[in-house]
Amino acid sequence: MEPDKIEDQVVEALRNNDCAAAGKLLREGASLAEVLLKVSGDDNGELGKRLVDALATNMQGDLDTPENGGQTPLQLARDLNHTETVELLSRFTGKTPLDYAREQGHPEIIKMLEDAATKNRGRPAPEKFDV
C-alpha cells in the first residue's frame, strides 16, 4: 500500500536508501519536524543518517528555520534524544545546542552544557563541529 502522507513517503524513501527522492519530497513541503519524529524510533540511527544525507545533498533551505512547532530540526532532534541526528545536523548547520543557548541568552543551559562537556570528555565544550 502506498503511503498517503508526504512525510510517510519521505520515511519510505529513506528506508529504500533513496536520499534523492527524500530530498525532493522535503523540498515539496514535507515537514522535517514530522519526519524527524517518525525516524526517532529507528534504533540503530540509520534512518537519521540517511535523512541528514538527504538534507545535505538535496535541500536548498535553511535548517535553522523553525517549523510549525517553533523548533529547528536540530532542537527537535535534541528533544527526542536522537543523538546521531543531533551530531549530524550540528555538523551540517555548523551550530551546536551550546550555540543556540548562547544565541538565545540562556546562561543556566550554557553552564550546564559546558560543565557536561568538560565532565564527560575531559576537555572544554567545542564552539562548533568541524565540517
Is residue 50 over pLDDT 80? yes
Count of domains for the chain:
2
Is residue 16 over pLDDT 70? yes
Is residue 92 over pLDDT 60? yes
- The answer to whether position 67 is within a domain reads yes
Mean pLDDT (the chain, rounded): 76
**Same domain, yes or no, for 47 and 106?**
no
**Same domain, yes or no, for 85 and 130?**
no
- The answer to whether position 1 is within a domain reads no
pLDDT for residue 89: 73
pLDDT for residue 6: 92
Q: What type of residue is 66?
A: P
pLDDT for residue 130: 46
- For residues 33 and 76, is the Cβ–Cβ distance under 8 A? yes
**Same domain, yes or no, for 88 and 102?**
no
Q: Which domain holds residue 25?
A: 6-93
Strand stretches in the chain, DSSP E: none
Is residue 131 over pLDDT 70? no
φ, ψ for residue 7, nearest 5 deg? -65, -35
Residue 38 belongs to what H/E stretch? helix 32-39
**Same domain, yes or no, for 23 and 80?**
yes
φ, ψ for residue 85, nearest 5 deg? -70, -40
**Same domain, yes or no, for 110 and 88?**
no
**Same domain, yes or no, for 15 and 73?**
yes
Alpha carbon separation from 105 to 36, 60, 98, 111 (Å, rounded): 26, 29, 10, 11
Mean pLDDT on 39-62: 71
